[in-house]
Amino acid sequence: MFEIEVSEDGRICLRGRFDAAQTEKANKILDAVESSVTVDFSELDYISSSGIGALFAVHKRLLPSGDSVKFVNVQPMVWDILTLANFHKFIEMEPAKEMD
C-alpha cells in the first residue's frame, strides 16, 4: 500500500511502499509542486529507484528558480537507499529521530 497526501502545513507525507507501480499516483501530487517543499518520510517503509526518480524530478524542476526539496524523518533503511543514490549530496535530508 502506498499513500501520498499534502498536510495542513503544506508538507508532502509519504506512507507505505513507494514502488514503480505507485509513480503515477505520486506524480498527481508531485507534479503540482511549484515552490520549496518538505517531504515527510516518517511512515515510508520502502522506496525503489522509481520513487527516487519521481522525487528527483521535483528537485530538478525547482532548481532553476532557487527553490528546493527537503526530506525529513527518513527511516533507516530508506535513508540507506537515498544515500546510496547520493541524494544527501544535493538534497537536505534529516533522519528519523531514532537515528539521531
Partner 1 sequence: MLDTRLQRSLSGLEEMFTFLEDHLARHTVDERTAYDVKLVAEELFTNMVRHNVRRHTGSGRDFITLGLEIADDRIDFCLTDYGVEPFDDESVDDVDFELPTEEREPGGLGVFLVKSRVDQINYEYEDGDMHVSVKKIRRS
* Binding region for partner 1 (CB under 8 A): 17, 19-21, 46, 48-50, 52-53, 56-57, 59-60, 63-64, 77, 81, 84-86, 89-90
Q: Tell me how far, at minimum, the Cβ of 48 lies from partner 1, in Å.
A: 5
Closest CB to partner 1 among residues 1, 8: 1
- Please name the residue that has the C-alpha cell 517543499: 37
Q: Residues with Cβ < 8 Å from 23, sequence gap 6 or more?
A: 50, 51, 53, 54
- Which cell goes with 64? 532553476
Closest CB to partner 1 among residues 22, 38: 22
